[in-house]
A and B are shown apart, each in its own frame.
Chain A
Amino acid sequence: METVAATVDAAEFADWTRPSLLPMTRLAKRLAPHADADDIVQEALARAWAKRHQFAADRGTPTTWLLAIVADRARSSRRSRIRRLRVVDDTADLPDAPARDAGVDVDLERAIESLTGRQQLAVQLHYFVGLTVDETAAVMACSPGTVKSTLYDARTRLRARLGDTDD
């Protein structure tokens, strides 16, 4: 589907979004590990429905468009959580840290959290969600060159961060 007409019905829209659900869920889990990824994806889908006429095929694929909305929703979710933490000094009821357990490169995960917001987004999209550089650029609304340089900066920072604890 090249565009999403305002007249598209719910079933068509669901079909249209179906191939993107897994990467959307993955990105939500990566960007907002303390939130419910399902909720974030649902909010993103609802927003996508409301704004479906704004999708422009010349700016990216449906998946990259939907992932951009997920990234925005995840950011909001993170802000809400920060506000909650400021008000309520009780983290016992909050979800556990992400399942970065078995087989997970814990040092690397910690180092990623030290990156800037855009560096994290680029790393998560490219390495963890598995997008190409061009797809990552479409999500981040920048050029592929900017993605490459952002990833390069991120890797440089990660190397510096991991230098003391790594091979």
Chain B
Amino acid sequence: MTDDQMDARLRRAGEAWRSATTPAAETDADDVHVLSPEPARRSRRGRHTGLLASAAVVAAAIVAGAAVLIVTVGGGDETNPSPGDTVGLEGTVWRLVGYGNDQRLPNSPATLHISGDGMLVADDSCRLIGARVDVNQGHLYGTQFQVRDYNCTDSAGEVTFDPDVFASAPSYSLDGAGLTITGAGKTMHLVASPGLPVPTLDRPTVTGATWRLVGVTDPSGTELPVSGEATFRIDNGTLHAGDTCNTLTGPAVLTGRELDTKDLAMTEIGCSNDVAPTAAVVDAVFSGTAQTELLGTRLTISRDAAGSLDYDWIPSDAVATDPANLTGRTWRLTAVAGDPVSDAVTLRVQPDGTTTGNDGCRDINASAEVGPGTLTVTGLPPADFPPTCNGDLAATVDSLLKQQPALWRISEEDLVINGPGAQGFALVYSTGDARPVLSPLLGSAWTLTTIETGTGPDAASQSVTGQLPLAVDQRLQFDDGCNAHTAEVTVGDATLDIGAVGGTQVRCVGPVPDQQHQILAVLDGRVSWRVVRDQLTITKEGVGALVYTKAGAGPRLVGTPWTLTSVQTDRSGSASGSGSSDSRVVLTLDGRGGYRLATGCHVYAGAAAISRSTVTFSDQRDLGGDDCLNTMAEQVVHLLDGPADWSIAHGQLTVTKGNATLTFRS
């Protein structure tokens, strides 16, 4: 049987099946009355529904059912989803309003969110809780718990999450817009609060966050220079820190503000004279019990007679906290602490720091320093508002903007600004810009990484010779490795219409002419474009595609989905291996001490302790999946156990364990 014959057989089978399952009254679906005055119960048919049931009837029931669910999620309906139902639990921001029969606190800033992939984040003014949860049979089964403390001094009068409840495999039930979670002898009451931002674990806390060393002071009070990159991070009770020369790893116990880090292991690289004094202070601070002080995004760790270390917070999500996504847009306030805002409150921060807008009472004319995830606004006048305006709103806006620094992030296209405490106490702005906030084709510089030629079975990828930039603004500008080109361009939502291309006309040699030909063939006329994370793909139908990476973005070990491209094994000098450009095996390290490996068949998860050049995998669990076979994945699954060396170069991640080398592309 040829491929064409197989194709024809599948088409016949598909047409026959569609014909057999298409009801005669299919078109009746258009006549369905969607919302009946009496809300219908969600349809729960027996599982023996006939395969050939009328699509129109099915459609009617489904739409009516969805309408009931919609009302349920929005609140106010009396439908009670069954305890095992997950409708609305995941993907909704829930506000904790109280326990048991205690008084409800409707404005509590404590929020809970469970993502579709099972990541639970609970946040209040004193604590940040993260876990993986399996939502099953009306219970929340949690693993990989992390409980991180904010620098709160007093939570009296506030309601906060009890980690023991989440750790007890609590039951839950949904009731209209309400959620009840019961476990460890307590019952939490929560309400759906769509105006609140989705809480994140990417916050400046002593544990579970990455800190960059920015200041070192020796015991005499002398400030020492910090050269090179040295970070500090504690995950699951294990410290990984650099001293600007060597790496320290070992157990770390944080009790209140006291950090106990003795008995650390350290690499033994000989340090040059210029970094040795700084490294000695870092080593001394981590050789016993030290004190931590967290103020905003600055962490200071000091130890008597050893010195003190200043660290600045590094957000894990570089895209959501990229200043380029905040600046140059006019943001309009939509909610404060979950309450919708109708006043015209705006904010615009220019790349040069000029900050304008309105706080609800008066115009803002200030300056701001924008860093990754941080915003330091100066020049706001004291709060003295005329009685004719909404002074409460303006005071809240000003107080959050005046934090030194305020924290910001882009969350689902919205700008969220809050302080270092409870994330629910936040300003949420949206932008009216037509261009997507997190897919900045315009105004960014891109570097070509891969040329894809052909389509279907004949598709092939080739790497690129030289640094070939591309930029799209008023015009399209690009380089083919030999010549620089420019062209008129009209940017659509997913297309570019490229006009006549002009440019230099240098004669090309070596492999460049082929490359030049392929680039010019793709960048011709109407093409489609797509930005995913830091990768831009421009496709010319029937010709091929060019894959660019955002210049300067560089893939990071943490947070980047790494796709396996090859597995090489070297035994006794004899190398063997397998490779694929589309292995479907994707490894992601989450920066919270965990990893996730999706093989296209199964999904695995486990712990990953990362240091400068090694990553130690452990606690691998099979999260289930389809019953299929992926031989490359089988090899990787077995290799992700124990320590392995890692490195990133030219957009590729290499993981080496024993005589095996795994290569991934970002």
Contacts and interface: CB of A to CB of B under 8 A. Distances in A.
Interface residues of B, number: 79
Interface residues of A, number: 75
B44 interface: yes
Given A128-B13, A143-B545, A117 B628 contact: yes
Nearest to A115: B628
A47 interface: yes
A53 B412 contact: yes
A68 to B, nearest CB: 12
Nearest to B42: A42
B119 interface: no
Interface in A53-88: 53-54, 56-59, 75, 78-79, 82-83
Contacts of A99: 20, 50-52
B21 A26 contact: yes
B16 A104 contact: yes
Contacts of A46: 66, 69-70, 73, 87-88
A166 B47 CA distance: 34
A163 B66 CA distance: 45
A79 B625 CA distance: 7
Contacts of A166: 1
B600 interface: yes
B572 interface: no
B92 interface: yes
Contacts of B50: 99
Interface in A27-66: 29, 35-39, 41-43, 45-47, 49-51, 53-54, 56-59
Interface in B42-101: 42-53, 55, 58-59, 61-63, 65-67, 69-71, 73, 86-88, 90-92
A149 B457 contact: yes
B90 to A, nearest CB: 8
A45 B65 contact: yes
A116 interface: yes
Given A82-B624, A116-B600, A57 B10 contact: no
A159 B14 contact: no
Interface in A111-167: 115-118, 120, 123, 126-130, 143-146, 148-149, 152, 155-156, 158-159, 162-163, 166-167
Given A13-B70, A163-B1, A21 B55 contact: yes
Which of A46, A123, A148 has the largest count of B CB atoms less than 10 A from its CB?
A46
Given A128-B13, A155-B6, A145 B26 contact: no
Interface stretch (B27-35, B367-375, B477-485, B505-513): B27-35
Interface in B1-29: 1, 3, 6-7, 9-14, 16-18, 20-22, 26, 29
Nearest to B537: A143
Contact of A104 (B17, B52, B630): B17
B493 interface: yes
B601 interface: yes
A58 B1 contact: no
A143 B9 contact: no
B626 A116 contact: yes
A130 B17 CA distance: 10
B552 interface: no
B386 interface: no
B545 A17 contact: no
Nearest to A42: B65
Nearest to A109: B13
Given A58-B494, A118-B600, A128-B18, A167 B52 contact: no
Interface string A4-29: 00100011011101100110011001
Nearest to B600: A118
B69 A105 contact: no
Given A95-B48, A143-B539, A78 B626 contact: yes
B626 A117 contact: yes
A105 B549 CA distance: 46
A96 interface: yes
B387 interface: no
B62 A29 contact: no
A99 B65 CA distance: 25
- Majority-rule SS of A interface residues: helix
Contacts of A26: 18, 21
Contacts of B71: 10
B194 A79 contact: no
B629 to A, nearest CB: 7
A98 B62 contact: no
Contacts of A95: 47-48
A40 to B, nearest CB: 10
A1 to B, nearest CB: 14
B70 A155 contact: no
Nearest to A113: B627
Given A38-B49, A42-B65, A116-B626, A145 B456 contact: yes
Contacts of A13: 66, 70
Nearest to B72: A46
Contacts of A129: 14, 18
A116 B35 contact: no
A92 interface: no
B582 interface: yes
Nearest to B60: A21
Nearest to B59: A21
B13 A42 contact: no
A38 B626 contact: no
Nearest to A26: B21
Contacts of A167: 1
B55 A25 contact: yes
Contacts of B520: none
B398 interface: no
B66 A14 contact: yes
Contacts of A102: 20
11 contacts: A18-B29, A29-B51, A38-B43, A103-B16, A108-B9, A126-B14, A129-B14, A143-B537, A143-B545, A149-B456, A152-B456
Shortest Cβ-Cβ A-B pairs, 4 listed: A148-B456, A117-B626, A99-B51, A127-B14
Given A17-B63, A130-B14, 20 more contacts: A10-B67, A10-B71, A18-B30, A35-B47, A38-B62, A43-B86, A49-B69, A51-B116, A54-B412, A58-B436, A99-B50, A99-B52, A104-B16, A105-B12, A105-B16, A116-B600, A127-B13, A128-B18, A145-B452, A149-B459
